[in-house]
Amino acid sequence: MPKIYFDHISSNPLLPEVREAMLPYLCGEFGNPSSLHDWGQAARDAVEAARAQVAALVGAEPDEIVFTSNGTEANNLAIKGLALAYGEKGRHILVSSVEHVSVLNAVSSLERFGFKLDLVPVDKNGRVDPADVLSRLRPDTVLVSIMTANNEVGTIEPVSEIAHLVHERGVLFHTDAVCAAGNIPLNVQNLGADALSLAGNQFYAPAGAAALWLKRGVKIIALLDGGFQENKKRAGTENIPAIVGIGKAAESALKDMERRAEQLEPLRDRLLSELPKRIPYVYTTGDLSRRLPGHASFYLEFVEGEAMLLWLNSMGIAAGTVSSCTSKALKASHVLLAMGLTHSQAQGSLTFSLGIRNTYSDIDYLLATLPGIVDNLREMSPLYDRFMKGVA
């Protein structure tokens, strides 16, 4: 039985060159970057080299990069740190209804300090209309956060247009680019944001390495109290092996991004077009034209996503349903509900996120395997039985 991984939106394997770059810092190189001796200076040099590599990935300057432990921390630092730093200007925060829970929950936590959360709706493809953002801006709006690309449905948002409109009103703009950075071209000079979150495990770096880009001159309140690491924006001894890894992975992503997209898009498109032909009552989710290169997502009526995932896993296929950060909650996806799906439709969601090791034979195996799984599950579904009998 083959072993096929279609859950790259959750995490990715290390590239060989990334592993090689990290090895010295897992063995002989163990210095603390804050130390003044040679061991410490070697570690400091490694951190700064990685900082330059990550900055280059998004067209930034090295001193604008703040390393964090993951995308959730980067989003929390951006949302809370910016809101608290500029709170005297207002307490209204505007985010889309399909943001990652690390953004939604970060804003919710700020409500205890008098901030107010307002949600921007999306269309049936999960796309934010810039006009809707503009219409919801208020004199007391201090921050807008709209993700660059959605992790559940793959839709790429018009963040540059939104950032321009937001800045015309003198409001800060943050984008969660965790699923986009390293996978599609991004340049903060053109994007128009004030802050951008990214995570290495989305582009073949180790988990535990991420970053926040913060535009020069933009203030932020650090969330961790301690030393003076990361230019006083994030206290704590740096994870040197992971930081070296994200740096090397960023360098590889910048060099190979176009080639990777050319490899992944035909695989993605075959899956998007063929799966609804093989199984009745299957529908794609997300924008078909503005979509991450390796992202294919669906909802299947009369069957639950968790059951399909478990059965697929027994057949050697790893896939996803709702965000991995909420998968244990067993609730309908807030993203799909915001797009207009019912609870029962949202609970039948499946996401296949492809990586550079996937092949056409992997797609063909999935297309041959999933129809039988769905047939078996629907045979056990009273909803499907009632539907087939025409019972309301």
Structure tokens at 231: 């230019």
Between the alpha carbon of residue 236 and those of residues 102, 196, 230, 232, 356, the distances in Å are 21, 21, 9, 10, 34
Closest alpha carbon to 57 in 155, 173, 178: 178
CA within 13 Å, CB half, 36: 0
Q: What share of the chain is helix, strand, coil (3-state, %, to 5)?
A: 45, 15, 40
- Looking at 56, 84, 325, 367, which residue is catalytic? 325
SS3 state of residue 283: strand
* CA distance linking residue 287 with residue 39, whole number of Å: 50
User: Which stretches within the chain are classed as H helix?
Assistant: 16-22, 38-57, 71-85, 101-110, 130-136, 159-168, 188-191, 229-232, 240-278, 305-314, 334-338, 343-346, 360-379, 382-388
Sign of the C-alpha dihedral, residues 355, 122, 104, 145?
A: positive
- According to DSSP, the β-strands at 210-214 and 195-199 are antiparallel
Sign of the C-alpha dihedral, residues 178, 211, 190, 136?
A: positive
325 assigned to active site: yes
Find the distance separating the first CA and the last CA of the chain, reported in whole Å. 41
Q: Specify whether the CB–CB gap between 18 and 204 falls below 8 A.
A: yes
Cα angle value 75/80/86 (rounded, 5°): 125
Residues recognised as catalytic: 325
